[in-house]
Amino acid sequence: MKIISDPLELKTYLKSNNKTVGFVPTMGALHEGHLSLIKQSKEQNEVVVVSIFVNPTQFLKGEDLDKYPRKDEADKKICELSGVDVLFFPHAKDIYGDDEVSLQAPNVRGYVLEGASRPGHFSGMLTVVMKLLNIVNPTRAYFGKKDAQQLNLINLMVKQLFMSVEIVAVDTLRESDGLAMSSRNVYLSKDERVEALKISTSLQKAFSMVNQNILDTKEIKKQMREILKPLEISYVEILNRDFLPLEFVELGNSIVLVEVKVANTRLLDNIWL
Ligand code: AMP
């Protein structure tokens, strides 16, 4: 496995081969969820590039940028063992300059749900994803459905900016008890982790209500909120795949999304129905 930290060196290196390239951008502290993206990328491409970059511009003031889990050495080993061809480990100073050209998240879709509690987060995210895609120039790039709003905005960016990369959405990987895997789960104490299970339980409730043909989104959201008590709920929402509100669940075109705070940790999860 080659490890490169200089963006221009990586760009030159990848330009010199004519192979299909799969790209998996991450912020490190790799877990099985990341590995499923890497695995799918390996199956579909000749070369797999993973990036590890804790992007400062998508963290708001007071958020966990400084304490975000960093496991550089373990991550390198995991990538090596997973058959990653190139690991891109850039320094912030090589990604950002003093006077920056940057992307602005769309005014509506970028400022609802997670964007409402984290204004500017998605502008930072889109900017770094655009930079990384321009450096790697992949055939396909892999993103988790767990970050459904991020995925939606990236798809929108690729469409509206006429980019040629194919975005591949990968299913959410969960712990055996249902908790969605996340680098931030390490912040949870034992008791908080038990409380966090209310998130996947509430999503299972939505799933089983829809199975019983209860499609009224107000009713489903009410029952989900009951299950989530007493957690601090940022949102419980049922939207179509274009992120527009739904009165009734449309099978094959709906996403049920939850964001809660467990102690100081913000956790998101969703299911696609
Ligand atoms: P992160 O390192 O948290 O920025 O995540 C990097 C990529 O992995 C993003 O596309 C995430 O959506 C994806 N991801 C994170 N957690 C999971 C999970 N549990 N299952 C599948 N993909 C995930």
| pLDDT for the residue 31 | 97
Four-residue CA torsion sign, 235, 240, 244, 249? negative
- The burial of 62, by beta-carbon neighbours within 10 Å (0-12 exposed, 13-18 middle, 19 or more buried), is given as exposed
Our answer to whether residue 34 is catalytic in this structure is yes
Amino acid at 103: L
| pLDDT for the residue 17 | 81
Q: Which atom of ligand 1 is found nearest the CA of 183? A: 3
Provide block-wise average pLDDT over 10 residues at a time, the chain (273 residues): 98 92 98 98 98 97 94 98 98 96 95 95 98 98 98 98 98 97 95 97 98 98 98 97 95 98 95 98
Distance CA 162, CA 151 (A): 16
Q: How far is the CA of 83 from the centre of ligand 1 (A)?
A: 18
Ligand 1 pocket test target in 26, 82, 121, 266 with most atoms within 8 Å of CB = 26
**What phi, psi does 144 have (nearest 5°)?**
-85, 140
Write down the pLDDT at residue 138.
98
CA of residue 143 to ligand 1 center, whole Å: 7
Distance CA 168, CA 147 (A): 13
- Burial level of 13, CB count in 10 A (0-12/13-18/19+)? middle
User: What pLDDT score does 150 carry?
Assistant: 98
Cα-to-centroid distance, 182 and ligand 1 (Å): 7
Q: Which pLDDT belongs to residue 16?
A: 84
